[in-house]
Structures are given as structure tokens and as C-alpha cells.
Amino acid sequence: MISSSRIAMHKTLAVVIPCYRVTAHIADVVAGIGPEVSMIFAVDDACPEGSGQFIRENITDPRVHVLFHEHNRGVGGAVMSGYRAAMEAGADIVVKVDGDGQMDPALIPIIARPVIDGRADYAKGNRFYSIWNIRKMPRMRLFGNVALSFLTKVSSGYWSIFDPTNGFTAIHQEALKRLEFSNISERYFFESDMLINLGNIRAVIYDVPMEALYATEQSNLKISSIIGQFLRKNMKECARRILYTYFMRDFSLASAQLLIGILLLLFGGIFGGVAWVHSDETGHVATTGTVMLAVLPIILGFQLLLSFLGFDMANEPKITIQPSMTLSDWVSMYNFASVSGGDAERDMA
């Protein structure tokens, strides 16, 4: 039986936990989830350790519901199964928490706050706000996250966010309804692909400062083995986003700046290259006019691309797609501080 308890603003909060080799940590993760959560969906993604059965036999929390995959579908496949179950159960907001103990369940109200109070459709953790927390992050993981952050900024259009692979997230049901799950990657590209697909529906995303916990857990993600795959997918999605946003959905001054800028750069580069080869072969020094005819288009093209980049950075979604809050919602929002604790109360101030 699913609990019908409600958090502030009369919204039901659900938690989805993808489970793969997490039997050593899952009990502590579930135990740390507070009373503000109405239901918990643990998804056994064909775990070789039998995480789902372990949860059924060792965890008695009535909010927990275990889902099983016959075949391994990856973290994205597990999370989307949990999303579907949460929506069917009537959840208004769904928080995704990893089962390996790296995320403090006590932060669930803080992660969900921007979505609950209507500031965002999707909120995610960001481990890069604190220099002290960055120092504790393994160097290879730090390097990989920084590189992937810049790639995802370009491909998703969310230039103000960082730490795209952070899996501590909260999403409103309205955003979930508009997403096409079949278009979202089920493997390690899932978190980045979520941002890209959220950009397609113009959802507002909010970064929440958090601290990750690094102890005995082992990450299944090897940066060296997936960086090439991430690069290819991000570049492909970047081209698709720009084509759709600036040439199919709309055509604006930024579209003209991008198109003309690329043409000028190509002309200047090709013309200058041909002139340089001709000058090298004949031994004749290129004239000032020839040099300027190559340099000026490159300079102008570069300036136009910079202008387009500035427009694109300012074009992040700013109006949420979730329903607007009523006056009673705003009143109830302040009651949420008592559930979240002192830290949440200070955060609202």
C-alpha cells in the first residue's frame, strides 16, 4: 500500500533508487530517507548481487516498492522505470538517489526545494560549489566531470549549470509527462541526455550546492572508456539543438549571425589558404589586398560567432513549464522549512 502522506504544497514526493551492486549501502540509504517522502521505488537492474531480493528480505519500510528488470538496461533504463512507476502512483515530484551511498538522503528536501516552490522544473546537485568538496573528489573523476560539464553546456544550451553527471536530481511530473523516454539514453549518457531533452521542452533547471560522500563505494563508470562516446554524442546533440532551435523552431538575428559568421570564416580560411599555397609555390609575396581579403572575413566571422554565443547563453529557459503556484501554495511553501530543517530554512532566507 502506497503511503498517502503529503509534503508542503500538498505535493507527493517520491524517490527512485536504481540498484546495481549496492547491497552494501542500500539499507543505509533507505534508512536515511526522511518522512517528507511518501514512496520509494527501488529498481533492481538485473543486479548480480540480487539487490531487489535483498531489499525485500532486509528492509521493512512500507514506503519501499521493488521493481525488477529481467535484463540490465543501465542506470537510465532503471531510473525511467522508476519514473513511470512514480507517475502512475500519482507522485508530483520525483527525486532520483543513487544506491551506492554517495548521496546524503538528508539532502532530499534541499534538492527538491526549487521544484517544490516553483522556481524550477528540474533540480540537480552540483558538487563544484565548494573548493573544499572539490579537493576530496578523486582526480580522475574531477577531470572527467569538468570536461563533461563543458561538453554538456554546449549540447544542452544550459550554460549556467555545472556537474552534468550528478545523479542527485528532482523533477516535476509536468516535465516528465512532456519528455519522450524513448529518446533518452539508458546508459551512462543518461544524465547528460536528460539535460539535452529538458532543453528541448524548455524546462527550467536549477543547480543546488551539495557535498558528495566518497567512502568505500566503487563507481561503475570508467571515464577513460566513455569520454570518446560522450564527445561524439554531445557534438551530435549540439548540432541538432542549434538546427532545431535557430532554424526550425525560429529564425532570428542570432540565426543570421551564426550562418553568416560560418560562411565568412570558411571563405576567409579557404581563400587565405589557397593564397598562401600559391605564394609559396610561385615565390611571390601576397599583396596587402590579398591578405586583407582573407583576414577581414575571418575577423568579422569570429565576431559574429561571438555575438551568437552571447545570445545562446542568454537564451536559457526562464519560465517554468509546471503549473503556476496559487496563494495557498506560497503559504504552504513556508511550512516546508519546518520539514526540511534549519539548513533549508536558512536557504530560503
pLDDT digits (tens, 9 = 90+) for 108-120: 999 999 999 999 9
In a domain, 126, yes or no: yes
The yes-or-no verdict on residue 150 having pLDDT over 70 is: yes
Q: Which of 77-81, 125-129, 189-193 has the highest mean pLDDT?
A: 77-81
Q: Do 223 and 103 fall within a single domain?
A: yes
**Exposure string for 209-218, b = 16+ CB within 10 A, e = fewer:** ebebeeeebe
DSSP three-state, residue 59: coil
Q: Do 111 and 217 belong together in one domain?
A: yes
Residues 31, 124 within the same domain = yes
CA distance 181 to 76: 10
Residues 299 and 232 placed together within one structural domain of the fold: no
If asked whether residues 166 and 260 sit together in one domain, one would say no
**Residue type present at position 184:** I
| 3-class DSSP assignment, residue 71 | coil
Q: How confident is the model at residue 2 (pLDDT cuts 50, 70, 90)?
A: very low
* pLDDT tens-digit series, residues 9-34: 467 999 999 999 999 999 999 999 99
Mean pLDDT of the chain: 86
**184 and 68 both lie in a single domain:** yes
In the sheet with 122-126, reading across from the earlier edge strand, the strands are: 64-68, 39-44, 13-19, 93-96, 169-172, 122-126, 205-209
Whether residue 235 sits in one domain with residue 250: no
Give the residue-averaged pLDDT of 216-229: 59
pLDDT band of residue 238 (cuts 50, 70, 90) is very high
Residue-number span of the structural domain to which 180 is assigned: 8-239+322-342
| Total-model pTM | 0.82
Q: 59 versus 217: which is more confidently predicted?
A: 59
Q: Do 116 and 259 share a domain, yes or no?
A: no
Residues with Cβ within 8 Å of residue 89, at least 6 apart in sequence: 2, 14, 39
**Counting Cβ atoms within 10 Å, is residue 335 exposed (0-12), middle (13-18) or buried (19+)?**
exposed
Question: Are residues 31 and 129 part of one domain?
Answer: yes
Cβ atoms 342, 349 nearer than 8 A: no
The answer to whether position 1 is within a domain reads no
User: Cα(36)–Cα(10) distance, rounded to whole angstroms?
Assistant: 11
Mapped onto helix, strand or coil, the DSSP state of residue 15 is strand
Residue for cell digits 542500500?
26
Give Cα 50 distance to the centre of its chain: 29
Sign of CA dihedral 191, 195, 196, 197: positive
Which is more confident, 138 or 316? 316
pLDDT tens digits, 159-194: 999 988 888 999 999 999 999 999 999 988 899 999
Contact 304, 258 (CB under 8 A): yes
The CATH number of residue 334's host domain is 3.90.550.10
Asked if residue 220 is part of any domain, the answer here is yes
CA separation for the pair 54, 203 (Å, rounded): 37
Q: Which of 34-48, 77-91, 185-199, 271-285 has the lowest mean pLDDT?
A: 271-285
Are 140 and 230 in a shared domain? yes
The mean per-residue pLDDT over the stretch 66-95 comes to 95
Question: What total number of domains does the chain contain?
Answer: 2
Cα 272 from Cα 286, distance rounded (Å): 10
Residue 121, C-alpha cell as written in the block:
522544473
Question: Please, which residues bridge with residue 126 across strands?
Answer: 209
Length of the chain: 349
Give 225's pLDDT tier (boundaries 50, 70, 90).
low
294-314, pLDDT tens digit by residue? 999 999 999 999 999 999 999
